Amino acid sequence: MSERPKLFEFEGIMLTHIFTDNWEKVKNFKARPDDILIATYPKAGTTWLSEIVDQLYFGEMEGRKPNIPIYERVPFLEICVEGLEKGTDAVESLPTSPRLIKTHLPVQLVPKSFWEQNCRVLYVARNPKDNLVSFYHFDRMNKVQPEAGPWDKYIDKFSSGQLVFGSWYDHVQGWWNKRETYPRMLYLFYEDMNEDLSREISRISSFLGLSPSEKEKERVTGKTKFETMKSNSMADYSTFDMMDQSISPFMRKGTVGDWKNHFTVAQNAEFDEEYKRRMEKSTLAFRMEI
């Protein structure tokens, strides 16, 4: 197995070469006014939201090829890795519009064209403890991510922003603050989606200016439930050979509160202190359980 990529600082955040090798093209990416950007910190529910939006637009489209993996239906803008089409090229070759585009970039690094074109942006955030747990298992199984290393050290790495795409705190707050100056954004929470998927699908639809029938909404809800996506090879990354799903499946648990099975009492108390300190000045609040 080839070596895992190294983390380094780039434009003020931690990244690996996979996300910087195509940087000029990413930075100068030309968005179209109807492009839809799906932005998240890694492991916050990107694939879930991508599947929902894709289903709303194209789930029932006549003539669409039936078997297209989610990472091709919703290309990952900044990715540039051997064995996969560059994200920018994959977006350019999308046959449908609106183009659905995924990014994990912190708000300040998003190509400016998206703002200039006034594109719709959907952001989903997840409580930090579950986000961290999910990221930990992902780094264990994804061969193009830096090694996770031991669990207790991983908590420190998360808190100090030493993970790919940098600090969770900066990411969620940066995007939260952007809402104040950029109204064409819907800020969603993984916990809300988990609590009531059908309600959140309605919110997403109205933000996108879509009016699906009740029957259609039911179809999308059914299609994007955890159990359905877990058994859908076009959604569960089983066709993506950079991941070793025998170590940990991509569709791992899909719950709120799995952090309780990972954090010790002491780790949790320390994390809570840090969270309080870092979130003190923000109006952004997370539910650690539902």
**Which residues does the annotation mark as catalytic?**
104
What is the contact mask toward ligand A3P in residues 259 to 288, using x (rule: CB under 6 A)? ------------------------------
Q: Site for ligand A3P (CB under 6 A): how many residues? A: 21
Is residue 144 within 8 Å of residue 242, measured between CB atoms?
yes
Q: Which of 235, 272, 252, 264 is nearest to 50 (CA)?
A: 235
Q: Which of 44, 109, 163, 243 binds ligand A3P (CB under 6 A)?
A: 44
Task: In whole angstroms, give the CA distance from residue 42 to residue 148.
Answer: 14
Q: Which of 59, 98, 146, 254 binds ligand A3P (CB under 6 A)?
A: 254
257 contacts ligand A3P (rule: CB under 6 A): no
Task: Report the nearest approach of ligand A3P to the CB of residue 143 (Å).
Answer: 15
Task: Report the nearest approach of ligand A3P to the CB of residue 116 (Å).
Answer: 27
Contacts of 110-113 spanning 24+ positions with Cβ under 8 A: 110/37, 110/39, 111/26, 111/27, 111/28, 111/29, 111/31, 111/77, 113/28, 113/29, 113/30, 113/31
Beta strand 120-125 with 36-40 is parallel
Task: Report the nearest approach of ligand A3P to the CB of residue 30 (Å).
Answer: 26
155 contacts ligand A3P (rule: CB under 6 A): no
Q: Is 173 left (phi over 0), alpha (psi -120 to 50) or beta?
A: alpha
Query: Which residue, 112 or 172, is less far from ligand A3P as judged by CB?
Result: 172
Task: Report the nearest approach of ligand A3P to the CB of residue 38 (Å).
Answer: 10
46 contacts ligand A3P (rule: CB under 6 A): yes
Among the listed ranges 169-177, 208-216, 252-260, 271-279, the one in contact with ligand A3P (CB under 6 A) is 252-260
221 contacts ligand A3P (rule: CB under 6 A): no
Task: Report the nearest approach of ligand A3P to the CB of residue 130 (Å).
Answer: 6
Decide: helix, strand or coil at residue 82: coil
Task: In whole angstroms, give the CA distance from residue 27 to residue 40.
Answer: 18
Among the listed ranges 37-45, 95-103, 145-153, 203-211, the one in contact with ligand A3P (CB under 6 A) is 37-45
- DSSP H stretches of helix in the chain: 23-27, 46-58, 70-73, 87-92, 112-116, 128-141, 151-159, 168-178, 190-195, 197-208, 214-223, 226-230, 265-279
Site residues for ligand A3P per CB under 6 A: 40, 42-48, 130, 134, 137, 194, 224-226, 229, 251-254, 258
